[in-house]
A and B are shown apart, each in its own frame.
Chain A
Amino acid sequence: MARKKIMFKDAINEAMRLEMERDESVIILGLDVAGSAGTEQERDSWGGVLGVTKGLYPLFPDRVIDTPISESAYVGAAVGASACGMRAVGELMFSDFMGVCFDQLYNQAAKFRYMFGGKAVTPVTIRTMIGAGFSAAAQHSQSPYSMFAHVPGLKSIIPSNPYDAKGLLAASIEDDDPCVFFEHKALYTMKGDVPEEHYTIPLGEANVVQEGKDVTIVALARMVQFAEKAAKKLAKDGIECTIIDPRTISPMDWNTIYSSVEKTGRLVVVDESYDLCGVASDICGHVSQNVFGALKAAPQMVTAPFTPTPFAANLEAAYLPDAKKIEAAIRKTME
């Protein structure tokens, strides 16, 4: 690990490069994943809308495939190719666009194996961007992973740092089930230590970011940073927090969450998505059902309010969970 810290987006790029080197059946499909197709200029001008796939086309010109703006067709083709021996990585630029292609995941990829009596293997991975905070408004800021996690047969992966992003993406691509991999756009420039070599992180293993005896905070993606900030502040007042980053919400590492709540007796779940039918309510529900006896206070949820993402900066700031809101929720469990 002698090298400098690298960015989250470079970690993702590296995971794809290593997988493509290791396995010829790995292909990438998406919009402008190389770029300049059909022009007289050099290819790889874009490397995806934020440059995450940049540099892969020159290495694997036959396997980095620009598609027309036809999400239903190319996400579906990633599914179909994967059911026929390829290991496709489809890039759905923004997760908000899943509305255009959901059937191919929801009714097709997710259900093949079960419907076909265990005979199908569909090792497709769909990478897609989530997250608010950029004044990108209602159709480019959502975090709709709970809709995918709600579907038996799909796995939902949500990394919070560069190290996890690389290991989890490698694991997703190598996984034989359909995986949806959610990348928070605010994390792309986050830097961290990432080994150069290939490694994987098992899907379904939470990361315990820090341990403390008073409160268990469960947070995902960008919310992990906010939770850390809140925990730091509370530590000054003698309140010690455990922070758990589930990293995947399907499968969910219930044991790690339960055993932490058994120790702390208090739970705060932080999620950038909504409380209604979301990850936060789900975790609170499971904990209440399974380790109710350990709870010293009502579990708290810190989520976005039940509205689309507003454009105006002041409204968007009010919309997003932040360290202050997390701190308040934690204090509530301590009352």
Chain B
Amino acid sequence: MKTQLSKEDLLKAYRKMREIREFEDRVHVEFAKGTLPGFVHLYSGEEAVAVGVCEHLNDKDRIASTHRGHGHCIAKGVELEGMMAEIYGKKTGTCGGKGGSMHIADLDKGMMGANGIVGAGPPLIAGASLASKLRKDGSVGVVFFGDGASNQGTNFESMNLAVTLDLPMIFVLENNGYAESTSPKYSAKVGSENIADRARGFGMPAVTVDGNDFFAVYEAAGEAIERARKGGGPTFIECKTMRYFGHFEGDAQTYRPKNEVKDARANDCPLKRFADAVTSAGLVDAAEIEAVDKEVLAQVEQAVKDAENAPQPDLDALMNDVYVSY
């Protein structure tokens, strides 16, 4: 295998993916205990998409996320500790406990929020990339959205707007085969099974990649982002991937074949594939991978402890920040 990434970069990317996996698997466990409030949608299985894209981005680049947003947050550099506290609804959370899992945002990191409204991201990132373009600062906007969201009018309109205004915008479609219980085979009939074909119709370059292969995502995103930074307009990247848990925590998943997730975990896990590739190519030692795993485990463990012990928001937070002016 060949890659231009240094050993340091490789370990950094792996660490991000491990952080996502460990974080999500732990939230899954905590949710099952009944300790976590609200709706939670987990990103386990899709790590290579968020990390493969965000490794090309800096804090000035903006991303918009989805209801399944933890992975995008982590990949964009939002701190685990604040995220965990947010999911617990604590004062120390990224949003002071006022947003929760579905609304984690860190604008300083260019992370414009997980989102409770399917299809809300594309117009927002059209706007973010318009701002980039007008400011001429070389930054780009990336919107992550699902196969289900790809059917939302906002997405079609934003594709057209991005092409019309020649925006430095990347559409990253996470095609995980389901929108709740509905397959894109039913709801997004595009002939070829590649939803990316739609984007080509709007007049932008579009590719479909193996979203469980970090390097495939990384390469496609790199090309698209570089083009956008140079004024070459929008690109659409479809990443075929798999979610390992239910649509939300608590979903019985009767719409899935029995062994689908088990097989994917065994044979197509993005972290395993990454680790196998870099160790067998002699780029990273297995011991270094294991060390990352251990460190991340400890970090997530600590984040949970801290979140559990953190105070609830002060009651005056209820009335604060409805407006800037009062």
Contacts and interface: CB of A to CB of B under 8 A. Distances in A.
Interface of A: 31-32, 35-42, 45-46, 49, 66-73, 96-97, 99-100, 134-140, 305-308, 310-315, 318-319
A311 B103 contact: yes
A311 B89 contact: yes
Interface string B205-239: 00000000000000000000000000000000000
Contacts of A71: 152
B203 interface: no
A100 B119 contact: yes
A135 B89 CA distance: 9
30 contacts: A31-B180, A36-B182, A36-B183, A36-B254, A37-B186, A38-B184, A39-B181, A39-B185, A39-B186, A39-B256, A41-B255, A41-B257, A42-B254, A45-B181, A68-B179, A71-B152, A100-B117, A135-B37, A135-B89, A137-B38, A137-B116, A138-B98, A138-B116, A307-B319, A311-B98, A311-B100, A311-B103, A312-B317, A313-B37, A314-B313
B312 interface: yes
B1 interface: no
A312 B86 CA distance: 9
Contacts of B117: 96-97, 99-100, 139
B182 A66 contact: yes
A301 B256 CA distance: 49
B315 A45 contact: no
Contacts of A313: 37, 89, 312
Contacts of A314: 312-313, 315
Contact of A73 (B90, B153, B255): B153
Given A312-B90, A315-B97, 4 more contacts: A37-B187, A45-B181, A68-B187, A138-B99
A334 B178 CA distance: 57
B115 to A, nearest CB: 8
If over half of B's interface residues share one DSSP class (helix, strand or loop), that class is named, otherwise mixed; here it is loop
Contacts of B257: 40-41
A207 to B, nearest CB: 32
Nearest to B115: A139
B39 A140 contact: yes
Contacts of A38: 182-187
Contacts of A134: 37-38
B299 interface: no
B269 interface: no
A311 B97 contact: yes
B148 interface: yes
Contact of B318 (A40, A66, A99, A315): A315
Pick the 8 closest A-B CB pairs, nearest first. A38-B186, A38-B183, A139-B116, A135-B37, A311-B100, A68-B151, A135-B38, A36-B255
Interface string B97-135: 111101100000000000111110000000000000000
Chain B: number of interface residues, binned into ranges: 35 or more
A35 B180 contact: yes
Contacts of A73: 153
Contacts of B169: none
Contacts of B178: 39
B129 to A, nearest CB: 22
Contacts of B182: 31-32, 35-39, 66, 68
Contacts of B186: 37-39, 66
Contacts of A308: 322
B197 to A, nearest CB: 16
A68 B148 contact: yes
Contacts of A35: 180-182, 255
B149 interface: yes
A307 B99 CA distance: 13
